[in-house]
């Protein structure tokens, strides 16, 4: 007979859990038999003391088992997905997903909302008027088959345990734990029914992982978990010491992604897209991956797939227009070399877009400079924008001091 409190105590004493104990914890929380504050104690115990590989496999399995595991039959292409460990301005999924589908792959993509200071692909997609990211798994499968890609969040049917635990981790500072990240990412990805997965492990002051050694450790753990469930996993490490691309926020990132799909993406953004895409298309046994990706951008087919996917989810791109009512520009107050504090930018962006109580789809930041740029006193560094002036003022006050020290 399992007792939740003694299991927390065991974990605080660094004892390993059994499969049965982990599914008891996950299911009890999902069924509201244990409260948020009790579950937080377990999350903190895991955050402090870790879980070994066997426990991480059990934990991932219990996330998958909390809902359905999709099976695609009679499909004539490689079923693949991409995921990142989280960043600021990271819109790569919105660009690479349609590109892979235009190259003949099938992309069933389950994504998350904002987590800690990082942005969430689902939040960004939901800024498109009408976009429904919580459709049934039957409809999800159908859109993947018909369009080549569908992007949804965790639902009652697929990975409900990740949806609940993910939200709690975000509120309790228990995100940056390898076994919890593994269970969350691999649970969603395995439940989607994919054959292969490419991962973008972000490193830097805007990421949950701070150096390459840790990133490789996490990458290997994610690949090991994948192989336990017959999913091939490959990964890259990429820089998250500054926001990716020009914008970070909600609608502004959708618009930037659509620009990128029409061949107008920033170099730093497209470098990550093409590096991950090459890895993905190699896995799918396709030749000349970069040429293929460039072709589906230049002939418009990747953008067509993006539009078709949005329409299939009820979204109306005709209504997508960035029309913020207020903005504050931030200027350098001295001559210096720029170096972003990306986590603090991410906190401020999540505050103006989502965390002040109301969702402001028009809110975000635009960045005019990159790390290492030489700034002269008075140079514009970034613009903070949105509908609510008071939120913009709070966010500007949060980030302005960062640039006084550049
Ligand atoms: N992305 C996820 O889906 N889960 C995590 O825990 C971190 C990033």
pLDDT of the chain, 406 residues: tens digit per residue: 789 999 999 999 999 999 999 999 999 999 999 999 999 999 999 999 999 999 999 999 999 999 999 999 989 999 999 999 999 999 999 999 999 999 999 999 999 999 999 999 999 999 999 999 999 999 999 999 999 999 999 999 999 999 999 999 999 999 999 999 999 999 999 999 999 999 999 999 999 999 999 999 999 999 999 999 999 999 999 999 999 999 999 999 999 999 999 999 999 999 999 999 999 999 999 999 999 999 999 999 999 999 999 999 999 999 999 999 999 999 999 999 999 999 999 999 999 999 888 899 999 999 999 999 999 999 999 999 999 999 999 999 999 999 876 7
Please enumerate in sequence order all residues whose Cβ is within 8 A of that of 239, keeping only pairs 6 or more positions apart, or say none: 202, 203, 204
List, for residues 203-221, the tens digit of each pLDDT value: 999 999 999 999 999 999 9
Distance (Å, rounded) from C-alpha 265 to C-alpha 84? 19
**Residue nearest atom 3 in ligand 1 by C-alpha distance:** 185
- Asked if residue 209 lies in contact with residue 38, where contact means CB atoms within 8 angstroms, the answer is no
Q: What is the DSSP letter of 352?
A: I
Instruction: Decide if 188 is catalytic.
Output: yes
Classify domain 80-169+180-318 by CATH architecture: 3-Layer(aba) Sandwich (3.40)
Token pair for residue 134? 């919580």
For 195, phi and psi rounded to 5 degrees?
-100, -30
DSSP E strand stretches across 48-94: 80-84
**Residue nearest atom 5 in ligand 1 by C-alpha distance:** 181
Judge if 80-169+180-318 and 326-403 fold alike in CATH terms. Answer: no
Which residue shows structure tokens 């990159």? Answer: 370
**Residue nearest atom 1 in ligand 1 by C-alpha distance:** 85
Give distance in angstroms: CA of 74 to centre of ligand 1. 30
User: How many Cβ atoms are within 10 Å of 309's Cβ, its own excluded?
Assistant: 26
- Asked if residue 271 lies in contact with residue 237, where contact means CB atoms within 8 angstroms, the answer is no
Instruction: Determine the distance from the C-alpha atom of residue 179 to the mean position of all C-alpha atoms in its chain, rounded to a whole number.
Output: 17
Which parts of 113-211 fold into alpha helices (H)? 121-125, 137-147, 160-171, 178-191
Instruction: Decide if 84 is catalytic.
Output: no
Give distance in angstroms: CA of 127 to centre of ligand 1. 21
Q: Is 238 in the pocket of ligand 1 (CB under 6 A)?
A: no
Q: Which of 11, 41, 83, 313 does the annotation list as catalytic?
A: 83
Instruction: Decide if 294 is catalytic.
Output: no
Q: Which of 81, 162, 347, 360 does the annotation list as catalytic?
A: 162
Burial of 37: CB neighbours in 10 Å, binned 0-12, 13-18, 19+? exposed
Q: Which of 188, 246, 292, 313 does the annotation list as catalytic?
A: 188
Give distance in angstroms: CA of 43 to centre of ligand 1. 14
Q: Is 153 in the pocket of ligand 1 (CB under 6 A)?
A: no
Handedness of CA 73, 75, 77, 80 (dihedral sign): negative
Phi/psi-derived region of residue 182, left when phi > 0, alpha when psi is between -120 and 50, beta in every other case: alpha
Distance (Å, rounded) from C-alpha 93 to C-alpha 273? 8
Pocket test for ligand 1, best of 83, 87, 111, 116 (most atoms within 8 A of CB): 83
Q: How many CA atoms lie within 13 A of 193 on its CB side?
A: 22
Q: Is 181 in the pocket of ligand 1 (CB under 6 A)?
A: yes
Q: Is 109 in the pocket of ligand 1 (CB under 6 A)?
A: no
Q: Is 7 in the pocket of ligand 1 (CB under 6 A)?
A: no
Beta-bridge partners for 248: 365
Q: Which of 91, 113, 114, 169 does the annotation list as catalytic?
A: 169
Q: What is the pLDDT of residue 52?
A: 98
User: How many Cβ atoms are within 10 Å of 284's Cβ, its own excluded?
Assistant: 19
Token pair for residue 122? 């689902």
Give distance in angstroms: CA of 238 to centre of ligand 1. 16
- Helix-helix angle 267-283:251-261, to 10 degrees: 70
Instruction: Decide if 184 is catalytic.
Output: yes
Q: What is the pLDDT of residue 2?
A: 81
Instruction: Decide if 83 is catalytic.
Output: yes
Domain spans in the chain, listed from the N-terminal domain onward: 4-50, 80-169+180-318, 326-403
Long-range Cβ pairs for the range 208-215 (8 Å, 24+)? 208/85, 208/86, 208/116, 208/118, 208/175, 208/176, 208/181, 209/85, 209/176, 212/237
CATH 2.40.50.100 fits 326-403, yes or no: no
Q: Is 112 in the pocket of ligand 1 (CB under 6 A)?
A: yes
Distance (Å, rounded) from C-alpha 394 to C-alpha 360? 14
Indicate the SS3 state at residue 149. strand
Give distance in angstroms: CA of 102 to centre of ligand 1. 26
Q: How far is CA 81 from CA 151, 194, 230, 300, 348, in A?
A: 10, 7, 14, 21, 29
Pocket test for ligand 1, best of 51, 85, 159, 163 (most atoms within 8 A of CB): 85
Q: What is the pLDDT of residue 212?
A: 97
């Amino acid at each position: 007979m399992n007792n939740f409190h003694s299991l927390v105590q065991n974990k605080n004493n660094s004892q390993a859990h059994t499969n049965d104990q982990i599914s008891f914890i996950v299911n009890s929380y999902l069924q509201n038999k244990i409260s948020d504050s009790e579950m937080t104690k377990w999350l903190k115990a895991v955050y402090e003391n870790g879980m070994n590989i066997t426990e991480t496999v059990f934990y991932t399995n219990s996330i998958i088992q909390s809902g359905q595991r999709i099976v695609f039959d009679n499909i004539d292409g490689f079923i693949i997905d991409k995921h990142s460990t989280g960043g600021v301005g990271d819109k790569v999924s919105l660009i690479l997903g349609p590109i892979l589908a235009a190259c003949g792959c099938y992309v069933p993509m389950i994504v998350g909302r904002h987590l800690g200071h990082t942005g969430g692909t689902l939040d960004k997609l939901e800024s498109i008027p009408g976009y429904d990211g919580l459709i049934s798994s039957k409809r999800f499968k159908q859109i993947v088959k018909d369009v080549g890609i569908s992007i949804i969040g965790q639902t009652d049917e697929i990975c409900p345990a990740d949806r609940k635990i993910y939200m709690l981790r975000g509120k309790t500072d228990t995100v940056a734990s390898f076994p919890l990240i593994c269970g969350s990412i691999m649970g969603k990805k395995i439940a989607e029914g994919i054959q292969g997965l490419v991962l973008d492990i972000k490193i830097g002051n805007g990421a949950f992982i701070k150096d390459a050694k840790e990133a490789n450790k996490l990458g290997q753990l994610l690949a090991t978990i994948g192989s336990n469930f017959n999913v091939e996993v490959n990964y890259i490490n990429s820089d998250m010491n500054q926001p990716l691309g020009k914008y970070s926020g909600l609608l502004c990132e959708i618009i930037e992604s659509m620009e990128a799909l029409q061949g107008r993406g920033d170099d730093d953004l497209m470098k990550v897209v093409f590096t991950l895409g090459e890895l993905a298309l190699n896995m799918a046994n396709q030749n000349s991956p970069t040429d293929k990706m460039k072709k589906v951008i230049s002939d418009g087919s990747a953008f067509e797939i993006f539009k078709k996917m949005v329409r299939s989810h009820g979204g109306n791109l005709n209504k997508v227009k960035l029309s913020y009512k207020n903005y504050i520009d931030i200027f350098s107050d001295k001559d210096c070399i720029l170096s972003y504090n990306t986590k603090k930018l991410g906190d401020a962006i999540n505050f103006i877009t989502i965390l002040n109580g109301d969702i402001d789809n028009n809110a975000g930041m635009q960045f005019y400079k990159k790390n290492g740029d030489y700034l002269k006193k008075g140079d514009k560094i970034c613009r903070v924008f949105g509908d609510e002036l008071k939120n913009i003022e709070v966010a500007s006050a949060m980030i302005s001091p960062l640039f006084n020290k550049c």
